[in-house]
Amino acid sequence: MTYGSAALLGIIQGVTEFLPISSSGHLSVLQNLFNLNTAEEGHMLFDVLLHLGTLVSVCVVYWSDIVLMIREFFGMIGEMRHPERGSKRADIPARRLILLLIIATLPLVAVLPVNGLVEQLYYNTTFIGAIFLLTGCMLYVSDKLSRGKKTEKSMTLRDALIIGVCQCAAVIPGLSRSGTTITAGMAVGLERPFAVKFAFLMSIPAVLGANIISLIKALMEDTDFSLMPVYLVGMLCAAVSGIVAIGLVKLITNSGRFGSFSYYCWTIGIATIIMSLIF
C-alpha cells in the first residue's frame, strides 16, 4: 500500500461516511472492481484506523455536545450514589439525549448473530449497485417529508428506537447509514438540524463498538506495523475530509436539499451494476 492509495481511501472513507452515499458500498466496489488494498488483503488495522478517523471527525464537530453529555453522565452517577446531593444545575435535555442515544444503539445487538451473512454481501457488487439505487429513492423521498419540530426535549423513546432499527438496516453495503438515520429522524418528526446531530452522535457508539472488535482481530493477525505511517496518513485524510463532509451535510439538510444526493446514488448504482456485469 502506498501513501497515495492510503490518502485516497482515507478521503473516500471520510466523505462517504457522512455524505448519504454509503462508505461501505464505495469501499467494497473499489475493492471488488479495482483491487484497491483494504482489510481483506492484510490491512485490517488500516480499515480500523480509517473508521477511527471518521470517529474523530464527529468528536471535533460535536465536541461541546459530547463534553456536556459526559459531564451530565457522571453527574447522574453521582446523584444515584448520593440522592441528597441532587444538582439543581442539571442539564435535563443533555440527560435525555444520553438516554435517547442509548435506546437508539440497543438494536445493533440484533445484528451480531447475522454479521457473517452481512459480510458476504460486500463481495456481491451487483447487489451493492441495486442498494445504491434504493438509497437514492430513500433520499429523494426525504425532501418530501414535512419539517418536524422535535428536539431532545420532545423526542420520544419510540422515535429513538425507530431510528436505531433503521441504523441496523444500514449495515447492508450500499445503504447509507447517515442517509438512513437522518431520513428516519425526519420521518419521525425531528427538527432537521437535530436529525443530523442525532444521527452523527449515535454513530459514535456504533463505530466505537465495531472498531474494538475489528481491532482485536487485527492485533491477532500478522499485522505489518512498518506500514503504520502510511496507515496514519489515511486516518488523517479520513478525519479531515469527514469534518468537511459533516459541515456540508448540515448545510444541505438545513436548506431542504438533502434529497439532491439521490441523483448521485442513482448514477453510481447504475454504473456499479454495469461494471459488475462487464468485469
Cα–Cα distance between 177 and 168 in angstroms, integer?
9
- 231-268 pLDDT tens trace: 899 999 999 999 999 999 999 998 888 989 999 999 99
Cα–Cα distance between 96 and 69 in angstroms, integer?
9
pLDDT mean across residues, the chain:
87
Q: From the CB of residue 269, how many other CB atoms can be counted at a distance below 10 Å?
A: 23
**Residue whose C-alpha cell reads 438496516 in the numeric block:** 169
Which of 118, 114, 132 lies closest to 267 in space, CA to CA? 132
- Domain boundaries defined on the chain: 3-80+93-278
- 197-239 pLDDT tens trace: 999 999 998 888 877 877 777 677 666 677 789 889 999 999 9
Decide if pLDDT at 89 tops 90: no
Q: What is the pLDDT of residue 41?
A: 47
State the DSSP code for 260. G
* Axis crossing angle, helix 203-220 with helix 92-105, rounded to the nearest 10: 50
Q: What is the pLDDT of residue 43?
A: 56
Cα–Cα distance between 184 and 126 in angstroms, integer?
26
